[in-house]
Structure 1
Amino acid sequence: MIAYLIRRTIYAVLVLAGINLATFFLFFSVNTPDDMARLQLGGKRVAAEAIERWKAERGYDRPLYFNPAASGVGKLTDTVFAENTLGVVALDFGKTNEGRDIGWEIANRILPTLSVAIPVFLIAIGLSIVFGLGLVLFRHTWIDTAGVVTLVGLMSISSLFFIIVGQFVFSRLMSVTPISGFSPPPDMFKFLLLPVAVAVLYQLGPNTRLYRTLFLEELGKDYVRTARAKGLSEIAVLLRHVLRNSLIPIITSAGLLLPALLAGSILLETFFGIPGLGTFTVDGINNQDFSIVRAMVFFGSFLYVATYLLTDFAYAWTDPRVRLQ
């Protein structure tokens, strides 16, 4: 098991290194520092002196990959490539166009983002498993049919519909929650209640249908017939056998859900005015701040890889066959 975990960790580090290199190539070779300067300064009719000044302020006036004017190791280290790639590895993302430290911004904005994503993740997975088991328990009845129709309906409706209707009903008409905004603890709960509820609602459809299918597939296997032959009740069969043997695909789907929630935070945070990583990314795009965009691309990739690494660890904890690899 230790060898498996070490191997997966090495794979994750290599993937992150590849993402870092690919991100640098896209931002500095395909889209050169001169192009960034022209976009930032107002188009094609920009004086060459202004471009050089903009590049010098950000350290982009040096060669990209190789500096022949430097001596020794400086030929490789005194470059834009070395400064930016090594800086990102050290979690030094540079500064915004306004001079703010991007690492400080991420550290302060990650709490609002996780405050939405983690409750949605836990509640959506828990409710989806419960509803999936309930539909399987009442399979081939009107309850199962009505549940499947409801789930398909939830899957067919855009998340924007849930957001707009939720804000109109619960914020404007009923005044139960604020329509937007954010506050640190302990007042944070009232601002997170509506976005968390909306996100959970539009995640229930696809997740519950998936888990219902997994449980139905497990019910047709030999070990389930053996458990029934021993006199176990249907609820005991579902909880003690079917659910346990469905953990691997459930963990896989859960591993896909958390990064999707982090990526989807842009939509929720924009509509609900939450000052998280999603709104920070949108601000960087609107302001054409390439340092913010590149930092968020790498940071988002890091969260994806970290989530999948945790999924691999969960595999090893759940499945004894994985521990022997």
Structure 2
Amino acid sequence: MFAYIFRRILYAIPILIGVNLITFMLFFMVNGPDDMARAQLGAKQVSPQMIQAWKEQRGYDKPLFINHKEEGFSMLSETLFVKESLKLFSFDFGISDSNRNIASDIQERMGPSLAIALPTFMIALITNISLALLLVLFRGSILDGSMMILAVMIMSISGLFYIIAGQVLFSKIWHWVPISGYESGWGGISFIILPVMIGVFAGIGSGVRWYRSIFLEQINQDYVRTARAKGLSELRVLFVHVLRNGMLPILTGVVVVIPTLFMGSLIMESFFGIPGLGSYTIDAISSQDFAIVKAMVFLGSMLYIVGLILTDISYTLFDPRVKL
């Protein structure tokens, strides 16, 4: 297993380099270092000396990919792409273009993101699986058909509608919860109730349909007919045998999502004024802060790769037939 994990880590290196390269190309195709300097300095009359000093302070004065002033390997190593990539791989995110420590910001904002993402993930997982098993139990009935129509309707509506409707209904009209904001500790529960509710409800349509299809695929297998022949009740067949054998496809989606919970929700955090990593990324894109954008893209890619490795490892725990 250790050899497998080591190989997957080696495979991840070129993937992260490629993601970082694409980020560099997309960002600098839109805004060059001079444009970034003008945007950050914010002065109406910015002199070339001020722009050059800003670029030198942040290392943006180097060529992007090829340094023709150098010779040999230094033509590639003494470039902005290589310098910034080496910092990322050593988890040195540096200073943002607005002179803030990115690593400290990530550590500070990770808590609010997890405060929203973890309850949403756990409640949605339990709710979706339970409802899917219930529909499989009453498969082919009016309840099953009605719930499938409702699930498609929920999926067809944009998540922005649920956010705006929830804020208007629960905050402006009924005044049950604050419309936005965040507070750490137990006093902040009132601020996260509405985002969690909306997150669970917005994903219930796709979640129930997906889990239902997984369980329906298992319900006609030979082991299910054997369990029924032994006199087991339908509830025991579903919640013990079908659920356990349906864990492999469920793990594919669940374990991959867990590392990405740290990144937060871009839309949810922005609309509810939650100071998490999602709103942090949106603000960086709006202000054209390339240092934060590349750090967040790199961190998100790395966490996704970790999720894939954890998925493969979890397969061996739930299915002894799977060997790494």
Q: Same fold (TM over 0.5)?
A: yes
User: Any conservation in 1 of the 2:96–2:289 contact (CA below 8 Å)?
Assistant: yes
Tell me which residue corresponds to 2:96: 96
> Deviation per CA, 1:45-70, whole angstroms, max 9, x where unpaired?
96543432221121122344566767
C-alpha displacement of 1:96: 2.1
User: Any conservation in 2 of the 1:65–1:81 contact (CA below 8 Å)?
Assistant: yes
In structure 1, what is the Cα distance between the partners aligned to 2:228 and 2:196? 39
1:254 lines up with 2:254 in the alignment: yes
- Check 1:29–1:88 CA distance in 2 against 1; reply closer, same or farther (3 A cut): farther
- Check 1:131–1:15 CA distance in 2 against 1; reply closer, same or farther (3 A cut): same
- Check 1:2–1:56 CA distance in 2 against 1; reply closer, same or farther (3 A cut): closer
In structure 2, what is the Cα distance between the partners aligned to 1:195 and 1:85? 35
C-alpha displacement of 1:297: 1.6
C-alpha displacement of 1:78: 4.8
> Deviation per CA, 1:239-292, whole angstroms, max 9, x where unpaired?
221111111111112245457766771110111110011111121122121212
Tell me which residue corresponds to 1:290: 290
- Check 1:202–1:71 CA distance in 2 against 1; reply closer, same or farther (3 A cut): same
User: Any conservation in 2 of the 1:117–1:258 contact (CA below 8 Å)?
Assistant: no
TM-score with structure 1 setting the length: 0.88
Tell me which residue corresponds to 2:269: 269
In structure 2, what is the Cα distance between the partners aligned to 1:189 and 1:50? 46
C-alpha displacement of 1:39: 5.2
In structure 2, what is the Cα distance between the partners aligned to 1:2 and 1:239? 34
Tell me which residue corresponds to 2:107: 107
In structure 2, what is the Cα distance between the partners aligned to 1:200 and 1:194? 10
- Check 1:66–1:260 CA distance in 2 against 1; reply closer, same or farther (3 A cut): closer
> Deviation per CA, 1:151-189, whole angstroms, max 9, x where unpaired?
122112221121112112221222221111001112122
- Check 1:71–1:150 CA distance in 2 against 1; reply closer, same or farther (3 A cut): closer
Residues 120-139 of structure 1 aligned to structure 2 (within 5 Å): 120-139=120-139
- Check 1:32–1:321 CA distance in 2 against 1; reply closer, same or farther (3 A cut): farther
In structure 2, what is the Cα distance between the partners aligned to 1:68 and 1:206? 53
Two-structure CA RMSD over aligned residues (Å): 2.9
- The DSSP-based 3-state class of the residue aligned with 2:241 is helix
Bigger shift: residues 82-91 or 255-264? 255-264
User: Any conservation in 2 of the 1:93–1:295 contact (CA below 8 Å)?
Assistant: yes
User: Any conservation in 1 of the 2:69–2:75 contact (CA below 8 Å)?
Assistant: yes
User: Any conservation in 1 of the 2:113–2:263 contact (CA below 8 Å)?
Assistant: no
Tell me which residue corresponds to 1:167: 167
For 2:113, give the aligned amino acid.
T
For 2:4, give the aligned amino acid.
Y
User: Any conservation in 2 of the 1:16–1:305 contact (CA below 8 Å)?
Assistant: no
For 1:156, give the aligned amino acid.
S
- Check 1:189–1:291 CA distance in 2 against 1; reply closer, same or farther (3 A cut): same
Tell me which residue corresponds to 2:62: 62
Bigger shift: residues 109-118 or 64-73? 64-73
User: Any conservation in 1 of the 2:59–2:80 contact (CA below 8 Å)?
Assistant: yes
For 1:133, give the aligned amino acid.
L
1:146 lines up with 2:146 in the alignment: yes
Aligned pairs, number: 324
C-alpha displacement of 1:191: 0.9
In structure 2, what is the Cα distance between the partners aligned to 1:197 and 1:314? 29
Tell me which residue corresponds to 1:155: 155
User: Any conservation in 2 of the 1:27–1:294 contact (CA below 8 Å)?
Assistant: no
- Check 1:87–1:265 CA distance in 2 against 1; reply closer, same or farther (3 A cut): same
- Check 1:161–1:141 CA distance in 2 against 1; reply closer, same or farther (3 A cut): same
Bigger shift: residues 303-312 or 151-160? 303-312
In structure 2, what is the Cα distance between the partners aligned to 1:212 and 1:228? 20
Residues 38-49 of structure 1 aligned to structure 2 (within 5 Å): 40=40, 47-49=47-49
User: Any conservation in 2 of the 1:8–1:312 contact (CA below 8 Å)?
Assistant: no
For 2:169, give the aligned amino acid.
V
In structure 1, what is the Cα distance between the partners aligned to 2:244 and 2:304? 26
- Gaps in structure 1 of 5+ consecutive residues: none
In structure 1, what is the Cα distance between the partners aligned to 2:145 and 2:192? 33
In structure 1, what is the Cα distance between the partners aligned to 2:139 and 2:117? 32
For 1:107, give the aligned amino acid.
Q
TM-score with structure 2 setting the length: 0.88
1:197 lines up with 2:169 in the alignment: no
C-alpha displacement of 1:37: 3.4
In structure 2, what is the Cα distance between the partners aligned to 1:204 and 1:79? 47
C-alpha displacement of 1:94: 2.1
- The DSSP-based 3-state class of the residue aligned with 2:139 is coil
Tell me which residue corresponds to 2:243: 243
User: Any conservation in 1 of the 2:260–2:303 contact (CA below 8 Å)?
Assistant: no
